[in-house]
Amino acid sequence: MKKWISILILGLLVLSLAACGQTNDKAKEGKTDTKTKEVLKIGAIPDQNATDLGHGMEAVAKYLSDKTGLKVEFVPSVDYAALVTAFQRGEIQLAWFGGLTSVQAISVAPGSESIAQRPRDAEFHSVFITQKASTINKLEDLKGQSFTFGSESSTSGHLMPRYYLMEAGIDPNKDFDGKPNFSGSHDTTYKLVESGAFKAGALNEAVWQEAVKDKKVDVNKVRVFYTTPSFYDYNWTINNNVDDVFGKGTKKNVKDALLSITTKQKDITDFFQTDKFVETNNANYDKIQKVAKELKIIK
């Protein structure tokens, strides 16, 4: 009898161990499934109205998800620097940067690449604005006037306007009425000039044109008095960790998806004020990097 009890206990132990093994296998399988469902997070510099930006980027996230099969999520950033930092940490895999922030991001996440831009971004401009009745008609007239840039990390709202001011013999740190202001975004810049808080300012040409078109700015109160020469600006930059996290070929798939966007994706093209995205590369932003180093904005 004792012999049979021992055999029974031994059998139960074997069955118990087998069940544990199956449970562990299922747990392992669950972990594998979770890994395959990593979320590809995209971001954008907060250079304009947060609601509009959110709608546009959510549309991009959905399109990329549909085209690549990845789970894609838009993560808002509080400011330009926060987006660069998140990109550096690998928390953002794809970002809509300005020229300067893309250069900054690639410098802190080597191996990352600028992969797509709008056709207009190859010949981008900043505009300088002032009040309609102002006597300011050229850059030299800004001496002794109050002035606002956009974000300190903005290519079209700060870097290139500062460069062309210095080319005209204006030192923004010495020649304005007080230190220059940094509004934080292009739409805030034109509102500050419109209200009379500042005599003049500089911003992204595309944002200005859209504001005029949508009557968000009163052209009876504000006018453009100078447009800069062209430079490369906005682009999609992809993180160097994408293929490691999501699998080989992910970078190419994401790039192909961006380049496949057409006016059929109206919610995207309307927001970005374009009919498509085209290829770009890091070398196109060498001038931005050079100017940023000259102005000691980056090392």
Is residue 251 in some structural domain?
yes
User: Contact 97/235 with Cβ under 8 angstroms?
Assistant: yes
For residues 41 and 173, membership in a common domain is answered with no
Is residue 9 in some structural domain?
no
3-state secondary structure 199-265: CEEEEEHHHHHHHHHCCCCCCCCEEEEEECCCECCCEEEECCCHHHHHCCCHHHHHHHHHHCCCCCC
Q: Comparing C-alpha atoms, which of 54, 105, 49 is closest to residue 75?
A: 54
Q: Which two tokens stand for residue 298?
A: 């980056």
CA 156 to chain centroid, in Å, comes to 13
Taking each continuous run of H as one helix and of E as one strand, the counts in the chain are 11, 11
* CATH number of domain containing 139: 3.40.190.10
- pLDDT tens digits along 59-87: 999 999 999 999 999 999 999 999 999 99
User: Contact 98/47 with Cβ under 8 angstroms?
Assistant: yes
- pLDDT tens digits along 136-170: 999 999 999 999 999 999 999 999 999 999 999 99
For residues 163 and 243, membership in a common domain is answered with no
If pLDDT is split at 50, 70 and 90, which confidence band does 37 have?
A: low
If pLDDT is split at 50, 70 and 90, which confidence band does 296 have?
A: confident
User: Contact 294/166 with Cβ under 8 angstroms?
Assistant: no
Q: Which domain holds residue 178?
A: 125-227
What's the total number of domains in the chain? 2
- Concatenate the DSSP letters of all residues of 98-129 into one string: -HHHHHHHHHHSTT-EEEEE-GGGGGB-EEEE
Is residue 5 in some structural domain?
no
- pLDDT tens digits along 203-249: 999 999 999 999 999 999 999 999 999 999 999 999 999 999 999 99
For residues 52 and 89, membership in a common domain is answered with yes
Is residue 9 predicted with pLDDT exceeding 50?
Answer: no
For residues 213 and 80, membership in a common domain is answered with no
Residue 256 is predicted with a pLDDT of 98
If pLDDT is split at 50, 70 and 90, which confidence band does 47 have?
A: confident
Using CA atoms, how far apart are residues 295 and 165, in angstroms rounded to an integer? 12
User: Contact 99/233 with Cβ under 8 angstroms?
Assistant: yes
Is residue 27 in some structural domain?
no
